[in-house]
Structure 1
């Protein structure tokens, strides 16, 4: 069932700020009661839960369960049921890959159950400053849905051991935002990217919170280097991917950047660029139903213009 459009985190600006608002990414929210949560077993105690929002990583062991991201709050009961089918142990940790609501909306319920919520310092700041006070989306979230992470991690890589896995929290360079964490399950050979990577969709680049098209393109070299030939990649959205998919996605982003930069160099306004439909051929593969061409063009255009175009 189609419901009211939600303005994604990129469109949520703190009241009173002077910076221009980012382009709006409008989505139709689903009938939550009819929205399933699917489980894919990746082996070694690692699972991927997939539903309307961001993918969830699950690591289950005798001590308890680690979640990577927590979905929309409206899906919390279904996520809990899916986790209970994997393990009867409690959820002890929730790692946030970034601050957007479809990844952290379920944090509060897990925190109330005793889970430790972990995020980067940047993600902590954005959750506190943006999500908790956002009037634009307040009617979409139950009271108390926002919760500040209890533990923040610095830049670099943090490592711990749980359920027979070496778990690495890798602070990504500015790409999708400036505070994304990549989670690596070493022995399982699984890498979870959050929204630094969408499999099968155009990206959502949060340039208001440190993201950029050039940062995204450069980051895929780092992401590719973390993958082996058999690595399974859990993207922020979409099905499980491989390292070859990472290279394909990087090539698409380079082409998007090239076309937007060409339009800017030719003196086109943002509206004229969007009206010219320069990505129509790419839409057949990447248009999907998550990020549409006009939104991506607007984000990349404003990003490049804000930096005086820049060159690569």
Structure 2
């Protein structure tokens, strides 16, 4: 297996990089999602537009687990006699390339889809995958959010309720285990972290962990306070991910290249240190602008802060929950 080095982030690995490249040339610096919206079109439509043409890369990881990169969040696929099981659905505009990628993994039908959380870049493909025959399983809060209109304030975007075919038909709100294709899938429910609907999926025998958006490899993460996310929850989720991963575990992040336990540790340490720095400054009654100017992320910016969620925007997210 050829893994992408941790310090590299490809266009396939995180579709928002396309937006970053576009807006950098206009502004002379990285833009927050809100700024990108103001200068061009809204960030959701920009992501969908790129998904309509971006390639989808297939990487076989271990045993019968593979990953598809390039359609929104990273998609894991488990193949076998019970049919293809997908972790996350990507973006509908990528459907032709996702179907081509899935066909390269075998002739089995798509029988099950598991959503790691409700965000559109992980659930936009739910409807067409359900049409292909996939039963959809997710956290109860994922179904709740998809069934009604949602606003993500930091993106300045209102999502309508999802169509009926995109709604998970089976939900859970506590850890559970599935047996499928001769494999054990451990579904871990987080306390509110990136959202209030996050889960991880661990392929036990293959020792592969899909963290959803509780881990962004090499990128400052987005925290969706509009639907229950928090910096404290992100740190708790990072600790849980470290605890689930061993030395040989392959880690599929929500965004970014394939990682490992060392990457989870580095990410956890970055979150903890940034939270401590921002909390200390905020305790001094410093305004958001003053905290940003103090550079609480400076030690991490070269590695984590060179894409769409830049140091200032990430500091804003941490400040909100500090």
Q: Do Structure 1 and Structure 2 share a fold, with TM-score over 0.5?
A: yes
Q: In the alignment, is residue 205 of structure 1 matched against residue 223 of structure 2?
A: yes
Q: How far apart are the structure 2 equivalents of 1:262 and 1:300?
A: 12
- Correspondence list, 1:236-251, <5 A: 236-251=254-269
Q: How far apart are the structure 1 equivalents of 2:152 and 2:302?
A: 38
Greater RCO structure (CA 8 Å; 6+ sep)? 2
Q: How far apart are the structure 2 equivalents of 1:257 and 1:46?
A: 35
Which whole-Å deviations, capped at 9, do the CAs of 1:213-259 have from their partners, x for residues lacking one?
A: 12221222221121121010101011111112111111111111122
- Correspondence list, 1:30-109, <5 A: 31-109=50-128
Name the SS of the counterpart of 1:58 in structure 2. Answer: strand
Cross-structure match for 1:136: 157
Query: CA distance change for structure 1 residues 130 and 6 in 2, over 3 Å: closer, same or farther?
Result: farther
Cross-structure match for 2:270: 252
Q: How far apart are the structure 2 equivalents of 1:189 and 1:98?
A: 21
Query: CA distance change for structure 1 residues 98 and 188 in 2, over 3 Å: closer, same or farther?
Result: same
Q: In the alignment, is residue 300 of structure 1 matched against residue 321 of structure 2?
A: no
Query: Which has a greater percent of strand?
Result: 1
Name the SS of the counterpart of 1:39 in structure 2. Answer: strand
Q: In the alignment, is residue 147 of structure 1 matched against residue 166 of structure 2?
A: yes
- Correspondence list, 1:205-284, <5 A: 205-284=223-302
Is the CA contact 1:132–1:146 (under 8 Å) kept in the aligned structure 2? no
RMSD over aligned CA atoms reads 3.0
Is the CA contact 2:59–2:67 (under 8 Å) kept in the aligned structure 1? yes
Name the SS of the counterpart of 1:268 in structure 2. Answer: coil
Question: Aligned-pair distance for 1:36?
Answer: 0.7
Q: How far apart are the structure 2 equivalents of 1:27 and 1:296?
A: 22
Is the CA contact 1:176–1:195 (under 8 Å) kept in the aligned structure 2? yes
Q: In the alignment, is residue 195 of structure 1 matched against residue 213 of structure 2?
A: yes
Query: CA distance change for structure 1 residues 116 and 27 in 2, over 3 Å: closer, same or farther?
Result: closer
Q: Which shifted more, 126-135 or 172-181?
A: 126-135
Question: Aligned-pair distance for 1:277?
Answer: 3.4
Q: In the alignment, is residue 124 of structure 1 matched against residue 130 of structure 2?
A: no
Question: Aligned-pair distance for 1:43?
Answer: 2.0
Q: Which shifted more, 103-112 or 217-226?
A: 217-226
Q: Which shifted more, 99-108 or 28-37?
A: 28-37
Is the CA contact 2:32–2:310 (under 8 Å) kept in the aligned structure 1? no
Q: Which shifted more, 178-187 or 32-41?
A: 32-41
Cross-structure match for 2:186: 168
Is the CA contact 2:232–2:321 (under 8 Å) kept in the aligned structure 1? no
Query: What TM-score results when the alignment is normalised by the length of structure 1?
Result: 0.83
Q: How far apart are the structure 2 equivalents of 1:258 and 1:27?
A: 35
Name the SS of the counterpart of 2:104 in structure 1. Answer: helix
Query: Which has a greater percent of helix?
Result: 2
Query: What TM-score results when the alignment is normalised by the length of structure 2?
Result: 0.80
Is the CA contact 1:7–1:27 (under 8 Å) kept in the aligned structure 2? no
Q: Which runs of 5+ in 1 are unaligned?
A: 12-23, 305-312
Q: How far apart are the structure 1 equivalents of 2:151 and 2:310?
A: 27
Corresponding pairs, count: 287
Q: How far apart are the structure 1 equivalents of 2:257 and 2:107?
A: 26
